[in-house]
Amino acid sequence: MGKLIYATIESLDGYVAGKDGDFDWAEPDREVHSFVNELERPIGTYLYGRRMYEVMVFWETAGTIPGQPHYVTEFAELWKGAEKIVYSRTLAVVSSVRTRIEPEFDPEGVRRLKATEDRSLTVAGPHLAGHALRAGLVDELQVFVAPVIVGGGTKSLPDDVELGLELQDERRFASGFVYLNYRVRS
């Protein structure tokens, strides 16, 4: 049985993007990126909303850009090797392999997917993750806190969800990033 992980990079004040939609402050350095690659190895399926998919589809060709560091090309290969489900009513075509579009987020469909998968799944993007959190589907949160306060923007977590969490792991990075891994208590 696969578990569903909400993986996110957020500012110290809890935003995934600033007031103007910017998130350049969230770019991981070599140390953080290499750590993320290790977390991504067991992922078999990514669940995205349209906007997050449009950000992440960069990885479809990132490995072909000359001069990319190994950790970037490695992540690109991991990303391309996984299945991707994009929940969107407006996206008509995808521009990556192993990708399908679903018109609506279906909690029961995700439950069935978790029950039949041998590998873990991730949900990315705060809006889609909010749906998964409200439906009780998320088993784990992997949160990277960036050393920045942005003062507003798109929140990482919804206001209307209460969950008990158990800290499973933590790590500090030289860049000031902090990784927190929580298991959702039943």
pLDDT tens digits, residue range 163-174? 999 999 999 999
The structure tokens listed for 33 are 């990126």
Q: Please compute the mean of the pLDDT values over residues 146-160 and round it to a whole number.
A: 97
For residue 185, the tally of other CB atoms under 10 A from its CB is: 8
CA 136, CA 163: separation in Å to the nearest integer?
9
CB atoms closer than 10 angstroms to residue 7: 19
pTM of the model: 0.96
- Mean pLDDT calculated for residue range 39-46: 98
Sheet holding 43-49, edge to edge: 99-102, 83-87, 43-49, 120-124, 4-11, 140-146, 178-184, 165-172
Domain interval for residue 125: 4-184
> What gap in Å lies between CA 40 and CA 114, rounded to an integer?
17
DSSP state of 26: G
Please give the average per-residue pLDDT across 111-116, as a whole number. 97
> Average pLDDT of 107-124?
97
Cα separation, 129 vs 135, in Å, equals 10
- CA 157/CA 29 separation, integer angstroms: 24
> Between vectors from CA 115 to CA 110 and to CA 119, what angle results, nearest 5°?
90
- Check pLDDT > 90 for residue 99: yes
Helices (H), 88-125: 107-116
Percent with pLDDT over 70 in the chain: 100
Query: Which regions of 50-177 does DSSP assign to beta strands (E)?
Result: 83-87, 99-102, 120-124, 140-146, 154-155, 165-172
- pLDDT value, residue 183: 98
CATH classification of the domain holding 128: 3.40.430.10
Residue 39's pLDDT is 98
What's the first-to-final CA gap in the chain, in angstroms? 16
pLDDT attached to residue 186: 83
Helices (H), 83-163: 107-116, 126-134
Does the pLDDT of residue 104 top 90, yes or no? Answer: yes
pLDDT of residue 22 exceeding 90, the answer is yes
Please tell me the predicted confidence (pLDDT) of residue 110: 98
Mean pLDDT of all residues belonging to the chain: 97
pLDDT surpassing 90 at residue 55: yes
The total domain count for the chain is: 1
